[in-house]
Amino acid sequence: MDPERILAIENAHDSGQFNKKVPILKGKGAMLFGQDGRAYIDCVGGHGVSVIGYAHPRITKAVCDYLRADRPIACGHFYDESRAELIQRLVDAMPAGSGLSRVFFCNSGTESVEAALKFAMKYKKHVKDKEIIGFKRAFHGRTLGALAITFEPRYRQDFVLIPGVKHASYNDLDSVKALLNDNTVCVILELIQGEQGVYPADPQFVRALRELCTQKDVPLVFDEIQTGFGRTGRLFCLEHYGVAPDILCLAKGIAAGIPMGATIATSKIMGAVDTGSHGTTFGGNPFACAVAVENLNIFRDEGLLDNATKVSAYLFPALEQLRQKYPAIKEIRGKGLMVGIQFKGKVAEVVKRMQERGVLVLVAGMTVVRLLPPLVITLEQAKQVVEALDAVLGEMQE
């Protein structure tokens, strides 16, 4: 279809909820190719979904093999080989001794968070006026439960949200202690807050929070929807911290772009959730599970985590040099290939000019440029990203 026509239809009839960029035709590795033939280095990564890169031949083969074998794309809740294998692989990937051994599949990040909240509420079913502790600057999704713990007022206004949510200050244990009481059913934390600016949690804080939640028998939930599946250079970000939650929320990079989320809980918590009290039609469908298994095989075989760590080791010092060169940059934050470049002012113009130079980047809030490239991004491509930013900031400074 003519690019002009694509824009015309989407602009006229799409819900209008999204700030779209260029019409994209296809992708390969860390590159996206526009309908107009232009090539872009993709540091948006489908909002962090595309961890193994675009058009991975093993995913193409897995999808084709699956369909050629007449296996069902979606097929109710029968036992299934692909689902069983995925469950086993995920449980095996959980930290030793964590007890994270029960998996609920859904179709998105926000659903994974909804499930976590409901499981925690069931675990604390005897508590009448249930309360949840989230954090300032948190983002957990857009459905009415997840949105209630999301902090940004702009996303929340005009909606009726679940009651009982309190927001503690990030990295501040005293602030959690001040809010935690006998009504608290869970504490939910992103190990790196992504959407509002890429803020990593302090390891001491995470360890102390773990201890507090254990002491009070309050489920601790980690939302690794953005940080999971290699984004920070380890399969899960919790590995950097050596701390396990009672419930873990996953989505984005789990199934090579096929919609899927997962909520993994301890058997103690899942044991309190009576059968049928939560559910989903599409969650855990065999097709998505088969793709997710191949996604994990790619992680196992292709050194993605090593590449993410190698590119990250180049990227952070290179960006730090830009910070020293340009007063417009205030701070560089993040881990692995989850990078936040904090500016002193608004970044919309930087984003636009980067795109003109063939690099697609995200924002996080108004003043942070966020990079979430596929983990297969090469050093050469990462250098081009830094060079493009250098050039953009140079011309904007003039």
Ligand X SMILES: Cc1ncc(COP(=O)(O)O)c(C=O)c1O
Binding-site ranges for ligand X (CB under 6 A): 47, 108-110, 113, 139-141, 190, 194-195, 223, 225-226, 251
Shortest separation between residue 194's beta carbon and ligand X, angstroms: 5
Q: In what order do the strands lie in the sheet with 31-34?
A: 24-28, 31-34, 39-42, 359-360
> Among residues 108 and 309, whose Cβ is nearest to ligand X?
108
**Residues linked to residue 26 through DSSP beta bridges, in sequence order:** 33
Distances, alpha carbon 104 to alpha carbons 92, 134, 253, 287, in Å: 15, 22, 16, 16
Task: Give every CB contact of residue 303 below 8 A, 6+ residues apart in sequence.
Answer: none
- DSSP element (H, E) containing 81: helix 81-93
Task: Report the distance separating Cα 285 and Cα 299, nearest Å.
Answer: 21
Q: Tell me if 158 sits within 8 A of 189, measured CB to CB.
A: no
Q: Tell me if 289 sits within 8 A of 85, measured CB to CB.
A: yes
Shortest separation between residue 145's beta carbon and ligand X, angstroms: 11
Task: Report the distance separating Cα 291 and Cα 245, nearest Å.
Answer: 26
Shortest separation between residue 222's beta carbon and ligand X, angstroms: 10
Q: Tell me if 179 sits within 8 A of 117, measured CB to CB.
A: no
Task: Report the distance separating Cα 149 and Cα 141, nearest Å.
Answer: 9
> Among residues 194 and 336, whose Cβ is nearest to ligand X?
194
> Among residues 42 and 190, whose Cβ is nearest to ligand X?
190
**Nearest residue to the partner ligand X, using Cβ:** 109
> Among residues 47 and 167, whose Cβ is nearest to ligand X?
47
Shortest separation between residue 227's beta carbon and ligand X, angstroms: 7
Distances, alpha carbon 134 to alpha carbons 186, 193, 331, in Å: 9, 12, 25
> Among residues 190 and 294, whose Cβ is nearest to ligand X?
190
Q: What is the DSSP string of 26-66?
A: EEEBTEEEETTS-EEEESSHHHHT-SS-BT-HHHHHHHHHH
Shortest separation between residue 381's beta carbon and ligand X, angstroms: 23
Alpha helices, DSSP H, located in 263-378:
267-270, 286-301, 304-325, 348-356
Q: Scanning the structure block, which residue is given the tokens 């003519």?
A: 2
Q: Are strands 184-189 and 131-135 parallel, antiparallel or unpaired?
A: parallel
> Among residues 124 and 231, whose Cβ is nearest to ligand X?
231
Shortest separation between residue 164's beta carbon and ligand X, angstroms: 19
> Among residues 194 and 233, whose Cβ is nearest to ligand X?
194
Q: In what order do the strands lie in the sheet with 100-106?
A: 100-106, 261-266, 247-250, 220-223, 184-189, 131-135, 165-168
- DSSP element (H, E) containing 221: strand 220-223
> Among residues 29 and 228, whose Cβ is nearest to ligand X?
228
- Number of alpha carbons in the 13 Å side-chain half-sphere of residue 371: 32
Shortest separation between residue 169's beta carbon and ligand X, angstroms: 18
Shortest separation between residue 374's beta carbon and ligand X, angstroms: 16
Shortest separation between residue 48's beta carbon and ligand X, angstroms: 7
Helices 286-301 and 81-93 meet at what angle, rounded to 10? 40
Shortest separation between residue 289's beta carbon and ligand X, angstroms: 17
> Among residues 141 and 219, whose Cβ is nearest to ligand X?
141
> Among residues 329 and 337, whose Cβ is nearest to ligand X?
337
